[in-house]
Structure formats: C-alpha cells, structure tokens
Amino acid sequence: MKTLFLLFASAALLSAEELKPAALPAQSTCTDGSYQIRFDGTKQLALDFPLKLKPGNWYRIQFDARSRKGAGEDRFLSALRFGGRNRYQAFQANTAWSRHVNFFYAQEADGQYSLILKRSQAGPDTVEFREIRCTGLDDADFRRNLFPDGDFESGDPAVPAFPWRKGGTAEVTDCGFLTGEYSLVLRNPRSPHSAPYMISATLPVRRGKPYRLSLWVKANGNGSVCLTFETLRKEIPVSGEWQKIEWRFTTPADFPRMARLMIRMQHELRTLMLDCVSFSEQ
C-alpha cells in the first residue's frame, strides 16, 4: 500500500521502522503515533517524512488511513521524492481504517515520503493516519504476492490494490467467485462510448527477472481486456464465466524499477469482475 525514521545499518534494513514527520501541519494533532488532521479543503496539506536509505535497495511503506467522509472523491496522494523528482500514488480513505502499501526503489540515500491532502470542493473533513512504517525487502519478499489485498477479502471500499480508477466506478462486493466473500467490480456506465481503466498500486520490479501475473476475470459477456505493465502489453479474451489468466514475462534490462499494472475494459463491456490478483517473481 510512520514517524521520522532513520535506517542506520544493513542489519536494520529488514526491520520495520516507524516514520515520524519533520513537522505537523496546522489543524493537526498526534497521539501515540496516530495523526489526526482537521482539513477544511481550501489549502493542500501534507505530512512529510524524511527518509535515510541504502541506495540500490527496495522498500515497502505501509500506513493505515481513514476519513470521516469516506471513500469517494480522489482527495489523497502519497508522494516519494528523491532530489527534484516526485512519484505519486493516489489512495482513498474509508470511514473505517484502510491499509495502504507503497513499494519503492532507493535511488539516493536521502529522500522524503509525503501523505498529501489535496484541495477539495467536498468541504471539511477529518483525516487520520496511523502505523506508518517502512521495511526493507529481501529476496523472499519478491517471491510472495506483491499485490496489497489482491484477493479483496478485506472488503475495503478504498480498494488499496487499485487506487486509481478512470471513466468508471469500482466496488468490492460478492460476485459468486469460487472462494471467498469479495471480488472487485469495475463498471462502465457509458458503454460503448468509453473504456474505463484501473491502475494498480506501485509494484517493485527487478530487471532481468522472470515474473508471473495471475488473476481471475469475468465479464458481463464476451469481449476483451487490455493489460499494460509499463512498457509490456497483453490483450486477453473474457466471457461471462470465471477464468484464470496467467501472464509470464522477463523484465528487460531497462525496465522501470517501480511499475504499475493498468487494466482497461474495451468499449463493448459494461462490467468486469476480478479476483485473486497475484504478482510475484518466479
């Protein structure tokens, strides 16, 4: 998907470190590592966390968030900054606590991680963050499923696995999948005049390594879905029955170290259902 934190030695890199912000924005309080921000929506606010890292390593930042208004409008961003470069990831906050995960590659020793509340026309809100932690990744982590909540069994309407959606609506609900209680549904309200898509949370990628992307899909009828993983692309047929899709590939030498999966419905589809989304190194 953390109070000011320093990672000092390689022995400490694999332990979870709590991050602390350099300063608290106005209208905010901190109690036992939980941050509450009373946000009027008229001015962007941010919690900025300085990072001390080991260049050439991958890291995972996780945090819990909740919002009195709940999931809906895209009002929140996380940002990773090295030098003058920023990399953003949207997230949504539900009325209950949602767990979010960001993966990143340390290009430099000094960086900054930010949780941003964007200016909004939605009016005042109270937003809370807790359990903001950073952990270094090892080889075994890359062989586990890197998708946060890829089976959607948290039932979280914030959908941490796919925080960006465009042109359609997404919800987590019971779709009659083989196991579990929840699946992710992307709906196309303007078919056949639009092609909605979702973009995943950032995933860590090592160059020249073999990877496997696996997911179960079902649609309202026959059609196709386009999978794009940065520079790689695959079109898959879908139907009104659940089917398992596997995509195996080896990342090229110049592949980005932080990548996102985009899933785009084709114009003819009105509903696309997903479950058991998995991405791991083989």
Give the strand pairing for 183-187 and 169-173: antiparallel
- Residue 3: band (very low, low, confident or very high) from pLDDT cuts 50, 70, 90: very low
Task: Say if CB 91 and CB 76 are below 8 A apart.
Answer: yes
142-159: average pLDDT: 91
Q: What is the pLDDT of residue 165?
A: 83
Which DSSP symbol is given to 10? G
CB 184 within 8 Å of CB 170: yes
Is the pLDDT reported for residue 113 higher than 90? yes
CB 228 within 8 Å of CB 199: no
Mean pLDDT in residue range 149-158: 90
Give the pLDDT of residue 75. Answer: 74
73 pLDDT more than 80? no
Residue 177 has pLDDT above 90, yes or no: yes
Tokens of 174: 């019971």
Confidence category of residue 1, pLDDT binned at 50, 70, 90: very low
Q: Which two tokens stand for residue 230?
A: 């940065």
- Please say if the pLDDT value at position 203 is more than 80: yes
Residue 99 near residue 148, CB atoms below 8 Å = yes
Using a 10 angstrom Cβ sphere, with 0-12 exposed, 13-18 middle and 19 or more buried, the burial of residue 232 is: middle
Predicted confidence (pLDDT) at residue 264 exceeds the cutoff of 90: yes
Q: What is the pLDDT of residues 5-63, one digit of tens each?
A: 233 333 333 457 899 999 998 889 999 889 999 988 888 889 999 999 999 999 999 99
- Quick check: bond before 192 cis, omega within 30? yes
Q: What is the mean pLDDT of residues 264-275?
A: 92
Within 8 A by CB and 6+ apart from 43, the residues are 119
For residue 278, is pLDDT > 90? yes
Tell me how far apart the alpha carbons of residues 27 and 132 are, in angstroms, rounded to a whole number: 19
223-260 confidence digits (pLDDT tens): 999 999 999 999 999 999 999 999 999 999 999 999 99
Share of the chain above pLDDT 70, in %: 92
| pLDDT computed for residue 4 by the predictor | 31
How much of the chain is helix, strand and coil, in % rounded to 5? 0, 50, 50
Pairwise CA distance, residues 43 & 45, whole Å: 6
Report how far residue 65's alpha carbon sits from residue 23's, in angstroms, rounded to the nearest whole number: 19
* Contact between 123 and 70 (Cβ < 8 Å): no
> 163 has which bridge partners?
none
pLDDT of residue 231: 94
pLDDT at 276 over 70: yes
Question: CA-CA distance, 239 to 248, in Å (whole number)?
Answer: 21
Mean pLDDT value of segment 177-199: 87
Mean pLDDT of the chain: 88
Task: Count the alpha carbons within 13 Å of 210 in the hemisphere toward its beta carbon.
Answer: 2
Least confident among 210-214, 245-249, 265-269 = 265-269
pLDDT band at 87 (very low <50, low <70, confident <90, very high): confident
The whole model's pTM is what? 0.84
218 phi/psi in degrees, rounded to 5: -155, 145
